Chain A
């Protein structure tokens, strides 16, 4: 079983749609949680950290459920520029390393 599981997609959605991605992690000792965005043939870039109380950054909302070991990302009013791979990333439970999911691919279409 992978340490961080994501649906690889692709999710093809029209502009303006709302889309949600989910992620589960296996290490209950994990301490920090993130969503990274990766464009094709580019490096991963931090989109947002995920806090226990849930947090919002513009059109993006992240939620964490520690009991279920589940993380989500909601994107409202999708833009063409949101097309990318979204990586669920977990840190802690032994060391400083980041543990990545395989990523969920999003394609926003006209």
Chain B
């Protein structure tokens, strides 16, 4: 079974440009998360989709970031316009919705390494 896949693996863009990151979760996983790791810092939550709905977007840094998950399958995260401080590794994770209260394991993609110059 394919894991969480992210594209591209690396992206180098100039300040002011637009970049779109894509995440394909594990098939059947309704929960989809975006996280980001800025160099030297911990991995931080950006937002959470349940199917196509945004459940929690409290971690989104500002309105230059737009996440979508049309149809409840893959998700995109667009940064427009990109700033230097947006550089980092963007991880996507997915998990199934479980019927009980026990949290399901979140599986992470390999990440997109974004460098804004």
Contacts and interface: CB of A to CB of B under 8 A. Distances in A.
Interface of A: 2, 4, 31-32, 42-46, 49, 87, 91-92, 95-103
A91 B103 contact: yes
Contacts of A98: 33, 35, 45, 93, 106
Contacts of A87: 43
Given A4-B42, A43-B111, A44-B91, A97 B103 contact: no
Contact of B42 (A2, A43, A96): A2
B110 A43 contact: yes
Q: Which size class do B's interface residues fall under? A: 20 to 34
B44 interface: yes
Contact of A97 (B41, B42, B56, B110): B56
Contacts of B108: 43-45
A contact patch SS: strand
A100 B43 contact: yes
A55 to B, nearest CB: 14
Contacts of B33: 96-98
Contacts of B106: 46, 98
Given A32-B103, A102-B41, A96 B109 contact: no
A49 B98 CA distance: 16
Interface in B5-55: 31, 33, 35, 41-45, 48, 55
A100 B58 contact: no
20 contacts: A2-B42, A4-B42, A32-B103, A43-B91, A45-B108, A46-B106, A91-B103, A92-B103, A95-B48, A95-B58, A96-B48, A96-B55, A96-B103, A97-B33, A97-B48, A97-B59, A98-B35, A100-B43, A100-B44, A101-B42
A91 B105 CA distance: 11
- Per CB-CB distance, the 3 closest pairs between chain A and chain B, nearest first, are A43-B108, A97-B45, A100-B43
